Structure 1
Amino acid sequence: MKLDRIKRRSGGTLILEITPLIDVVFLLLIFFMLATTFDERSAFKIELPKSTVAKTKSTLKEVQVLVDKDKNVYLKYTNNSGKSETEELDLATFVDFVSEKLETSESKDVVVSADKDIDYGFIVEIMSLLKEAGASGINIDTNSTK
């Protein structure tokens, strides 16, 4: 073997110096880090993902806002006797009614269940009204693709 012959001729052990190799790799790393251009526009290309996570079970403590295809808004909540009730709301009285139900609710979390064809602006408006009403957490209900 060639390495054995080198050992025998020099009489000592063969030492492989890797320090220069590490230096070269480090310099290449720095070069590529500095030479890379980052496309800031790619941060704004949004593709909404499908939900592959299993649906979490909602509790009776949560208040639920339902929005159908015609933008009718319903509030589903648990009354004082423990029964679930659903009422249709208009946006004018939405904040007052939801804040009243959140005060009596054990949880200040709200689940929004909206039709998939509802435009994004309307859902954002609903979410801002929920924050104004005192909701501490807003969850979007989705269907699992599994």
Structure 2
Amino acid sequence: MKFKREPREELELNLTPLIDVVFLLLIFFMVSTTFQKESEISLQLPRASDTETESSQDRIEIVINAAGHYFINDQELVNSDVATVQNALYKISGGKRDIPLTIRADAQAPHQSVVTAMDAAGQLGMLKMSIATSRSTD
């Protein structure tokens, strides 16, 4: 018996389905991935000057001690309400909104006391408000 040998076909590996699956996975991950953009806040920081331009008569100074008591131009207020601070600021400024206002707070003063002073000045529409700090000697 003589068997006839037929030529064998060469086996080939078809890569088309594999490429299709990889392509679909790539599309899936691209669509389902969320990219978060880091937010940035653009600030213009204030600059300090070393010169004294206004006399002490033309400025208002709010001092807040460690206990949270208010002193406006060296006069202590009877209580710490926003309305009291606002009335005192209005009386001293005479209704003028462009008088410079400086807030000096003790480092141990409650944060709410500083916010209350800023809120009272903001409700009056004070245009020139600054917070005084001291330089560290490190």
SS of aligned partner of 1:132: helix
Q: Identify the match of residue 70 of structure 1 among 46, 67, 70.
A: 67
Q: From the superposition, tell whether residues 128 and 104 of structure 1 become closer, same or farther in structure 2 (CA, over 3 Å).
A: closer
* Unaligned runs of at least 5 residues, structure 2: 1-34, 42-47
What does 1:74-93 correspond to in 2, within 5 Å?
74-76=71-73, 86-89=74-77, 90=79, 91=81, 92-93=83-84
Matched, 1:127 2:115: no
Which one is further off, 132-141 or 66-75? 132-141
Whose RCO is larger (CA < 8 A, sep 6+)? 1
Bigger Rg, structure 1 or 2: 2
SS of aligned partner of 1:66: strand
Question: Which has more helix, going by share of residues?
Answer: 1
State the aligned residue count.
93
**Cα distance between partner residues in 2 of 1:66 and 1:135:** 17
* Unaligned runs of at least 5 residues, structure 1: 1-35, 45-52, 77-85
* TM-score between the two structures when normalised by the length of structure 1: 0.51
Matched, 1:116 2:107: yes
**Cα distance between partner residues in 1 of 2:88 and 2:102:** 16
**Cα distance between partner residues in 2 of 1:121 and 1:55:** 29
SS of aligned partner of 1:136: coil
Q: From the superposition, tell whether residues 117 and 109 of structure 1 become closer, same or farther in structure 2 (CA, over 3 Å).
A: same
Residue 104 (structure 1) shift: 7.2
Q: From the superposition, tell whether residues 145 and 54 of structure 1 become closer, same or farther in structure 2 (CA, over 3 Å).
A: farther
**Cα distance between partner residues in 1 of 2:97 and 2:126:** 12
Does structure 2 retain, via aligned residues, the 8 Å contact 1:54–1:144? no
Does structure 1 retain, via aligned residues, the 8 Å contact 2:68–2:110? no
Percent pairwise identity: 13
SS of aligned partner of 2:94: helix
Residue 29 of structure 1: aligned partner: none
Residue 102 (structure 1) shift: 0.7
CA RMSD of aligned residues (A): 3.2
Residue 94 of structure 1: aligned partner: 85
